[in-house]
Amino acid sequence: MKARLPIDIDDIDCDVDQMTAEESRHERVKHLAESLVATRKTAAENIQSAQTKQIQRFDLKREAPTYQVGNKVLRYNRRCDTRMGDKLQQRFTGPFVVAEVLGHSVFRLHKDGVVMS
């Protein structure tokens, strides 16, 4: 089935001369183009609003992980993210014990008495 576009729809009488039909089509296309810009702007605003609400709901439920000296943790292997292949390799190694808290989400770990930096 051939697609029908809004420009293809004839809502004018057959008795109207060709010039009036062309003007009517031109006005309809102009109206469609203007309404398309407004519709896209409204859609972008709605998306932004929805994303803001989603961020707020996510932040209410999630707390940043806090670790203290003596806690057991697993260390994430970031090289698995960028390497091709090795998709079956373990993403986490450990368990390690937190030896020292150096800063926000920065820890010194040790395993079997060996300190890792």
Over residues 51-70, the pLDDT tens digits come to: 999 999 988 888 777 888 88
Would the pLDDT of 42 be above 90?
yes
Residues 15, 55, single domain; the answer is: yes
Residues 11, 36, single domain; the answer is: yes
Residues 38, 57, single domain; the answer is: yes
Would the pLDDT of 22 be above 90?
no
**Is there a domain that residue 66 lies in?**
no
Domain edge (last residue) among 22, 40, 61: 61
Contacts 24+ apart (CB under 8 A), 44-49: none
CA atoms within 13 A on the CB side of 44: 6
| Over residues 99-114, mean pLDDT | 82
As separate numbers, helices (DSSP H) first and strands (DSSP E) second, the chain gives 2, 4
pLDDT tens digits, one per residue of 64-103: 778 888 889 888 887 777 777 777 778 888 788 888 888 7
Band (pLDDT 50/70/90 cuts) for residue 12 is very low
List Cα–Cα distances, 103 to 35, 40, 85, 116, in angstroms.
53, 45, 34, 16
Range of the domain at 99: 72-116
Residues 47, 19, single domain; the answer is: yes
Place of tokens 């961020």: 55
